[in-house]
Amino acid sequence: MTKIYIHPLPVRLWHWVNAVGFVLMILTGFQLRFAGTVRLLSFETTVDLHNWIGFVLIGNFFVWLLFYLFSDRIRAYHPELSPRLHFERSFRQMQYYGYGIFKGQPNPHKLGIYDKFNPMQSMMYQVVMLMLVPLIAVTGLLLWDSTVFGGAVQFFGGTRVVGTIHYLLFVFFCFFIFFHVYMGSLGHTVTAHYKAMFITGYEDAHDEPQEDTESPRSGA
Ligand code: HEM
């Protein structure tokens, strides 16, 4: 059985810190938002923790960004430029997750070191990493010191607007984590993706090859 090295060490280290950090940010975020209901830590300690972990996550984001910017692995994040192919493949992937997987059909996505994401993951991870993570970080930074960043906060519509955007993203990430962890269990075994991302970096190339060779991504 062929093994493919799809998650190099910097990606795995980034993901470890990111996963633990996000879970802690969500827990401390809950405590801050629902301070009257949940009271595991004092308000001051929770604010300090939330701020410090936030800074660690911002630094960690640059580990991910710089690794991909200076590595040929960035090809894994190249979008499919043909909308027709993108939607056809996404549809095939959705059919697989909604039906084929329960019938033991092969995954339509062929794994490769430059093609580790299926079309749905590819789109989701681009939106999450290039838009939503930066947006929750920037809004968090603005709220962290609204005197220093007062001008920017006013520019974006005031503390209420910035706070609401930050909160809505928090809600999104609460749901994202559950969905993401569930999707992570849909490899050829329940633990295959977890082992690859958190320990070995390797996935087994079990899947049947894709028929269509129209796009350069499928051959990568
Ligand atoms: C308990 C928390 C988490 C677990 C157990 C987990 C699990 C996994 C697994 C198994 C993979 C590899 C398989 C796949 O792509 O589906 C993965 C990849 C990924 N995860 Fe997570 N994850 C967690 C939290 C997060 C969070 C909070 C984010 C973003 C804010 C995130 C973003 C990503 C991204 C972008 C990838 C692809 C990384 C790359 O290969 O470049 N994950 N995760």
Q: What is the pLDDT of residue 217?
A: 38
The b-or-e profile of 150-165 (16+ CB within 10 A means b, else e) is eeebeeeeeeeebeeb
Report how far residue 119's alpha carbon sits from residue 108's, in angstroms, rounded to the nearest whole number. 10
Higher pLDDT, 220 or 69: 69
Over residues 169-197, the mean pLDDT reads 96
pLDDT category of residue 209 using cuts at 50, 70 and 90: very low
Nearest residue CA, atom 22 of ligand 1? Answer: 19
Name the helix (H) or strand (E) containing 66.
helix 43-69
Over residues 9-29, the mean pLDDT reads 98
Q: What is the pLDDT of residue 206?
A: 64
d(CA 41, ligand 1 centre) in Å: 28
Test site for ligand 1: of 15, 109, 182, 191, most ligand atoms within 8 A of the Cβ: 15
Over residues 7-29, the mean pLDDT reads 98
Nearest residue CA, atom 37 of ligand 1? Answer: 125
Over residues 5-31, the mean pLDDT reads 97
Residue 210 has pLDDT above 70, yes or no: no
d(CA 20, ligand 1 centre) in Å: 11
Report how far residue 37's alpha carbon sits from residue 56's, in angstroms, rounded to the nearest whole number. 27
Test site for ligand 1: of 197, 198, 203, most ligand atoms within 8 A of the Cβ: 197
pLDDT category of residue 212 using cuts at 50, 70 and 90: very low
Report how far residue 193's alpha carbon sits from residue 204's, in angstroms, rounded to the nearest whole number. 10
